[in-house]
């Protein structure tokens, strides 16, 4: 079962538009949690409404900036160095 979830995570980040459900799968939370995170400002608002959808590339850039990481095409995480 975990392999199927991981496959969904990879494929959802390669799509042009992400749905609320796809984000929920990627973050391993419910769609309702995604909605609450958006309402509280923890996630950016969707680019399109009814149903809520995010432009994949924009969401990915936002996520990388928030986390200080770089996501490659297979949704693996690479740490970046920050010189201060």
What are the tens digits of pLDDT across the range 33-75?
999 999 999 999 999 998 999 998 888 888 888 888 776 654 4
Domains and CATH numbers, the chain: 2-79 (1.10.10)
Residue pLDDT, tens place only, 17-26: 899 999 899 8
Q: What is the pLDDT of residue 71?
A: 66
Residue 72: what pLDDT? 61
Q: Does the CA dihedral 61-57-32-28 come out positive or negative?
A: negative
Q: By the 8 A CB rule, do 20 and 31 touch?
A: yes
- What digits encode the pLDDT tens for the residues 2-21? 444 444 554 444 568 899 99
Q: Residue 83 pLDDT more than 90?
A: no
């Amino acid at each position: 079962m975990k392999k199927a979830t991981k496959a969904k995570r990879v494929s959802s980040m390669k799509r042009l538009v992400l749905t609320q459900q796809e984000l929920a799968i990627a973050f391993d939370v419910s769609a309702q949690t995604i909605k609450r995170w958006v309402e509280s400002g923890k996630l950016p608002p969707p680019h399109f409404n009814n149903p809520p959808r995010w432009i994949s590339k924009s969401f990915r850039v936002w996520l990388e900036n928030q986390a200080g990481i770089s996501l490659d095409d297979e949704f693996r995480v690479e740490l970046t160095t920050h010189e201060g």
